[in-house]
Structure 1
Amino acid sequence: MGKDSKTKDAGAKGKGKGKQAAGGSDENASKGKGKSGKASDGLGTCTYVKARHILCEKQGKINEAYQKLQDGWLSNGDKVPPAEFAKLASEYSECPSGKKGGDLGWFPRGKMAGPFQDVAFATQIGATSAPFKSTHGYHVILCEGRKN
């Protein structure tokens, strides 16, 4: 039960941070309405996501990494540049992907476990999720792309 509520909270927070990336949604809105009739934000309609992440065993460490993102970009409403996110992932992430700047590449729906997948597919392109917990530890995700 606790995991579900945390996942929903993290997803909601991730969506809130995604507002900073919504500036270019006018172009997507004209494309999104036509064929499928689904929401133009593209959330929940794609089958693949390209993402980077930072994984830490301890909540305090992920909060420290997230604070650096906040101080550098998010508090100003800016997007975190992938290269800057990659630097923080190299410094903070305890996942083997940290050596590659947290790059997970493209992955399909169903490949990642529960909360990670939920947050990855709910975070808008260019946006950074709030810290959240999965079975592997604490994460922050940067969504870099979507495709079907």
Structure 2
Amino acid sequence: MAKTASALHILVKHKVLAEEIMDKLNKGAKFDVLAKKHSTCPSGKKGGSLGEFKKGQMVPAFDKICFTGELIKPHLVKTKFGWHVVKVLYRT
């Protein structure tokens, strides 16, 4: 079982915007460009990069997708912070 993961994310307040971002990604838009434009998280300035983190370090719903979701494919996750578009890069 993976102990660490690396992910990119875009945090927004509204589900509609998160769904629009997902649609743009599925049509070939660049994740880092959308993160810099839309993300309310400080990681947006780094293209959404959260770097590598340990299992259990993130809020439960976010953590679950990072350790069980399909790699590279964008996922939509709701947490207490808002709506996240998450792209898991790898697990170790």
Same fold? TM cut 0.5: yes
Q: In the alignment, what sits opposite 2:91?
A: 146
Give distance in 1, aligned partners of 2:22 and 2:36. 14
For the 8 Å contact 2:7–2:49, the answer to whether it is kept is yes
Correspondences of 1:1-148 after superposition (within 5 Å): 45-72=1-28, 84-129=30-75, 131-147=76-92
Structure 2 unmatched ranges of 5 or more: none
Q: Distance in 2 between matches of 1:115 and 1:103?
A: 18
Aligned counterparts of 1:56 and 1:104: Cα–Cα separation in 2 = 15
One-letter amino acid matched to 2:88: C
Shift of 1:136: 0.6
Cα RMSD (Å): 1.3
Higher relative contact order (CA 8 A, sep 6+): 2
Name whichever structure is richer in helix by fraction: 1
**Runs ≥4 in structure 1, deviation > 3 angstroms?**
none
TM (norm. structure 2) is 0.91
Greater per-residue strand proportion: 2
Percent identity of equivalent pairs: 35
> Structure 1 length normalisation: TM-score?
0.59
Deviation at 1:96, TM superposition (A): 0.7
